Structure 1
Amino acid sequence: MSRSGEHLKDEGSKSQVVIAGAGAGLIARFFIAPLDVVKIRLQLQTHSLSDPLTHRDLHGSPIYKGTLPTIKHILKEEGITGLWKGNVPAELMYVSYGAIQFTAYRSVTVALQSAFGERKLPAAIESFIAGASAGAIATAATYPLDLLRTRFAAQGTEKVYTSLFSSIRDISRNEGPRGFFQGLGAGVGQIIPYMGIFFATYETLRLPLGTLQMPFGSGDATAGIMASVIAKTGVFPLDLIRKRLQVQGPTRSRYVHKNIPVYKGVFKTMFDIRRREGIRGLYRGLTVSLFKAAPTSAITMWTYERVLRLLIDMEARKKTAKD
């Protein structure tokens, strides 16, 4: 009898896990790209929506209020392509992240099971450690692409970067290698509890929900949604801080929000946002983030499970044919 969580971690070869993880990330990213752009625009909006006196400090920045009004504003000012800004580095990031994440998750779990042997860790603890480790590794490895995704999504009608190549060249020239890793501390600080909570919750819910008649034929998608909402809400302030730090540098005042303050350090940024914008300032874009997180996680986990199962079945058929 397999324990909760062993299905995801033990099945499939390393190459099958890589392919399934990369495919899941690619497909999920394409469908949620517009919500991702909206979330970033809301997170970078620093002025108070309740105090009209701050409007004099907008410097031409738009005022976004809610998900649908933001989408309409982007469509009106920037066209349909505005909702997919940053999609190229984001697709590269999601493919790489998905492959690295699931591979690391599987590898860490196997290592933990080998290290503890018969003294097995509780499934929830094992999933938390594996999920947190996988998230940290994948975040650090793909962080430059995450930063580029944010900067492209933050561009309005003014072109800060004309292409992916030019953005890499300009950041290297003007900010050096450290420019690609601004806000990494917040990213890792966010992803460790997020992925730990996500995988622990997902593995706990997946098997019980799998016995119910759920959408798409199983409880994978529903478990992914519930796990993502719980984890995302808990660490959202760090996600917002990461976005604010990612647009720091010589191009800070050229994005769609031209009044972004100068931030330095995770904790200083947190205190500054709290002082300037109140506690609500740390949760700008949370609603659309949760709307985004649900379909992203559902599509990712559902696609991963199906692609991995398909690859395993294809391999089994090949072995049967040879025999």
Structure 2
Amino acid sequence: MSGKEGRLQDEGSRVQVVVAGGTAGLISRFIVAPLDVVKIRLQLQSHSLSDPLLFARRDLQGGPTYKGTIPTMRHILAHEGIPGLWKGNVPAEMLYVLYSAAQFTAYRAVSVGMKHFHETTGIKAWPHADSFIAGASAGAAATAATYPLDLLRTRFAAQGNGPDRVYTNLRGAVRDIARDEGVRGFFRGLGPALIQIAPYMGAFFACYEGLKPVTGQIAETVLSSAMGQRVGVNAGAGAGDAVAGVTAAVMAKTFVFPLDLVRKRIQVQGPTRSRYVHKNIPVYEGGVARTLQTILRTEGVRGLYRGLTVSLMKAAPANAITVWTYERVLRLLIRMDESNKTANVEASL
């Protein structure tokens, strides 16, 4: 990738990267929040109406049975209203802002460090290997730093209304978890989260950086053809960034989805397990491997992919919006900074 346009690795100051990353996370989260709630509800459901044998074996009393993205969304709207689709949005917004800021900051820092390493040692990097390493490192660091907010988001999204309401507010949830489960309670499922996020973010950024030049060129060609004249690189950059983000997100999310499902199942373990909308969430004892084995034994391979469709529906626009917003906000901040410097120089003359 050449030139200043479109580079995530080394553009902008640290403050500009934090602001751009936080803004991108804030906007992205609010838009995809309903899909996130639906995904969590489907992931926590250990039974399926489309599997008669499995359905017959389950004790389904005390909780709804969801089937598909749209019916699940309709069920939530009918029983919990519009606010039900944004349950857990407060900790989720905090999570996405802090996570995105930490992620892009770490990604930039590792990328610059890798670039310096290659320049100093003369060792050539494999194609997109630096993007993978930077993405994996950034994802792991951001996940560990913001994990309690991720757990709170999941628990709020999993609870219903009225008697099914486990936590009344964020402050009460923090107090109850600290009292009943201790500090470790805030980090349930951190293991699968870290195992998942490193390859996910590594694959996402590697795919994104590799695809962006190609998708940008394709977008430029398509726009030029549609308008009957050459539109230039900048015109196709936005569409190219979005397409690259969508494609990279779908590829990476499908690869690591079972670990994401395991993380959600573990996050709602503990003393409140039977109080959520799904009151028959199984007990999972042991680590990631044992939980995976249990789900495979009781639900089959398809059990590891519950909610994959809505997850992809969410991941594609979420990541596309995130990287598109990040790139635009960062460039705006850089231009504003350059304008201010120019104005200060002219004023001093």
TM-score (norm: length of structure 2): 0.89
Aligned residues of 1:128 and 1:196 also touching (Cα < 8 A):
yes
Give the CA deviation at 1:6.
8.2
Looking at structure 1, the residues matched to 323 and 150 of structure 2 have their Cα atoms a distance apart, in angstroms, of: 21
What SS does the corresponding residue of 1:12 show, helix, strand or coil? coil
Q: Is the 8 A contact 1:212 1:218 kept in 2?
A: no
Q: Given that residues 4 and 203 in structure 1 are in contact (C-alpha distance below 8 angstroms), is that contact kept between their aligned partners in structure 2?
A: no
1:47, distance to aligned residue in structure 2 (A): 1.7
How far is 1:196 from its partner?
A: 0.5
For structure 1, the 5+ residue unaligned runs are none
Distance in 2 (alpha carbons) for counterparts of 1:120 and 1:113: 10
TM-superposed CA distance for 1:48, in Å, is 3.5
| One-letter identity of the residue aligned with 2:34 | P
Task: Tell me, yes or no, if the aligned pair for 1:211 and 1:218 is still in contact at 8 Å.
Answer: no
How big is each residue's C-alpha offset from its partner over 1:100-146, in whole Å with a ceiling of 9 and x where there is no partner?
A: 00000000111112223232323400000000000000000010000
Matched, 1:191 2:197: yes
Identity %: 65
- In structure 2, the partner of 1:2 is 2
Deviation at 1:207, TM superposition (A): 1.5
Q: CA contact under 8 A between 1:273 and 1:281: conserved in structure 2?
A: yes
Q: Is structure 2 residue 198 aligned with structure 1 residue 177? A: no
Alignment match, 2:231? none
Quote the residue 1:143 is aligned against: 147
The root-mean-square deviation of aligned C-alpha atoms, in Å, is: 1.7
Give the superposition deviation at 1:4: 11
Q: Which residue of 2 aligns with 1:15?
A: 15
Residue 94 (structure 2) pairs with residue 92 (structure 1):
yes
Matching residue of 1:289: 311
Query: Where in structure 2 are the equivalents of 1:108-119 lying within 5 Å?
Result: 108-117=110-119, 118-119=122-123
Per-residue deviation, 1:97: 0.3
Bigger Cα Rg: 2
> Which residue does 1:319 correspond to in 2?
341
Aligned residues: 322
TM-score normalised to the size of structure 1?
A: 0.96
Q: Which runs of 5+ in 2 are unaligned?
A: 221-235
Contact 1:20–1:304 (CA under 8 A) maintained in structure 2:
yes
The within-5 A match list for 1:1-323 is 2=2, 7-49=7-49, 50-51=51-52, 52-54=55-57, 57-117=59-119, 118-157=122-161, 158-213=164-219, 217-264=238-285, 265-323=287-345
| Over 4 Å off, 4+ runs | 3-6, 214-217
Offset, 1:77 = 0.6
